Amino acid sequence: MSAVPDVLAPGVRVVFCGINPGRASAAAGAHFANPRNDFWRLLHATGFTPRLYEPREQHELLALGIGLTNAAFRTTRGSSDLRAADFAGARERLAAIAEELAPDVIAFVGKAAYQGVFRERPQHGLQRRQLGATELFVLPSTSPANAAVPWEERLRWFSVLHDLTQ
């Protein structure tokens, strides 16, 4: 079980898949809850949301066709604390989400999330691999630990994904 439950329901068009809950997210019981994480600002800046949402409002994303999950459930201080065993069953779980909910895209928020699930290093953007009819897309991580990737680069990739899902 995760300290941060999935936000999923029929009708989601895009599912954002983080790597795992950090301590701030676990404490809040909400995805991307670290106030320095750019996820919510990027969703709004690229038009996924009509206004800036707070992590505690995560369930309101379902009405916009947006779902949230994580590749690994274990809470850690940082993603470097994860082990391969933390991703056991993740591929099958995401395949079940793709089959049952049929989102257009599962978007991995960070290369490490995709790599943990599929054991291969991706590039940013649309992947060759699919889960059934669901496309897979890799975004830059929005974590404050990924501060080396500038806002403009993150914004660009979120915009590409937004255009793909319209």
Q: Please give the sequence-ordered ranges of beta strands (E in DSSP) within the chain, or none if there are none.
A: 14-18, 66-70, 105-109, 125-131, 134-139
The structure's pTM equals 0.95
d(CA 118, CA 127): 12
Mean pLDDT, the chain, integer: 93
Tokens of 48: 């996924």
Partners of residue 7 on adjacent β-strands: 68
Angle (nearest 5°) at CA 162 between 157 and 166? 150
Q: In what side-by-side order are the strands of the sheet with 134-139?
A: 66-70, 14-18, 105-109, 134-139, 125-131
Where exactly are the structural domains of the chain?
14-164
- pLDDT of res. 75: 64
Residue 74 clears pLDDT 90, i.e. is over it: no
| Fold type of domain 14-164 | Uracil-DNA Glycosylase, subunit E (3.40.470)
- pLDDT of res. 76: 66
